[in-house]
Amino acid sequence: MASRANATGAFTYRFPTKKGIDPEAITVVGVIRHYIVKEDDTLLDIARRFDLGFCEINALYPKMDPWLPPVGKRLLIPTSWVIPNTRFHGIVINIPEMRLYLYLKHINMVTSFPIGIGDYGFATPVGIFTVTGKRANPSWRIPKSLQEEYEMKIMPPGPENPLGAYCLNLSPGTYRIHGTHQPWGIGRLVSHGCIRLYPEDISILYRLVPVGTKVEIIYEPVKIGFKKGKVYIEVHPDIYGKIQDLFLYAKDKIKQLDLLDKVDINKIKLAINVKNGIPIDITK
């Protein structure tokens, strides 16, 4: 892997304390960056260099050949996000954007990592979970449905183990947050429901997350955020087809926050149309 930019880091946030626009609220974090494509770059290389999943780059450049991006082209790097609200100051995973957020308790800081999630037919579930155990160099107890394919019941640690070097077990025991031996799968629907991170990211998360941490898995293709007294919207594809109408879904979210008279409906429609995952200012 090429040298990595410090794209994610930890960011200060402040959730709104009231409905409407709270000028003190900061829930849009990070900054948009740019990158000039170099010889031998692929979009997967570039995504990983900036700690993004493939989906985050592909949303901006869906027609670009991921293996042969044009050398010299200046790319927008989407390293800014609306952070989801949280009840637990633990881990929040938002399925449609394929991203994990870790809220650092008592210091109002959040850090974030791209993830791979469940493929169609093996959807990553929503709900409240708890980290019940941590394992370094884990063995993989292979599900019965896959034992014939792998010709074994338990795979030992090693370069072919899909769990990677670190694993966080989640209650009630079916799903895990873990590394991967296939980094190209980050930002894709690749697993049987578990959450995968880049090897370099799971090593950080593993150190930061104690047993007992709450994990909230949500499904929010539309997020509303705040920064400097302005309202932002971030829109992602409805990857599991759960939302009948994204515009009405977004409008309802904005109404619940008592913001309908503060935003521009045409800007909302544009954001819904492009679904590029970048926070867009929708303030009137």
Domain borders along the chain are 32-78, 115-214
The pair of structure tokens assigned to 211 is: 């047993």
The pair of structure tokens assigned to 14 is: 């402040």
Give helix 265-274 / helix 246-256 axis angle, nearest 10°: 130
The pair of structure tokens assigned to 47 is: 């995504």
**Distance of alpha carbon 26 from the chain centroid:** 19
Catalytic (active site) residue 194: yes
**How many CB atoms are closer than 10 A to CB 27?**
23
Catalytic (active site) residue 178: yes
CA–CA distance, 52 with 30 (Å, rounded to integer): 13
Fold type of domain 115-214:
L,D-transpeptidase catalytic domain-like (2.40.440)
Q: Which residues contact 228 (CB under 8 A, 6 or more apart)?
A: 23
User: Looking at 55, 89, 106, 178, which residue is catalytic?
Assistant: 178
For 32-78, CATH gives 3.10.350.10
Predicted pLDDT at 1? 47
Q: What is the pLDDT along the chain (284 residues), one digit of tens a residue?
A: 445 655 568 999 999 988 889 999 999 999 999 999 999 999 999 999 999 999 999 999 999 999 999 999 999 999 999 999 888 889 999 999 999 999 987 788 999 999 999 999 999 999 999 999 999 999 888 888 788 888 788 888 888 888 999 999 999 878 999 999 899 999 999 998 999 999 999 999 999 999 999 999 999 999 999 999 999 999 999 999 999 999 999 999 999 999 999 999 999 999 999 999 999 999 99
Of 94, 113, 131, 270, the C-alpha closest to 200 is: 113
CA–CA distance, 170 with 257 (Å, rounded to integer): 32
- pTM as predicted: 0.94
Predicted pLDDT at 5? 56
CA–CA distance, 176 with 187 (Å, rounded to integer): 17
CA–CA distance, 76 with 78 (Å, rounded to integer): 6
User: Looking at 89, 106, 192, 194, which residue is catalytic?
Assistant: 194
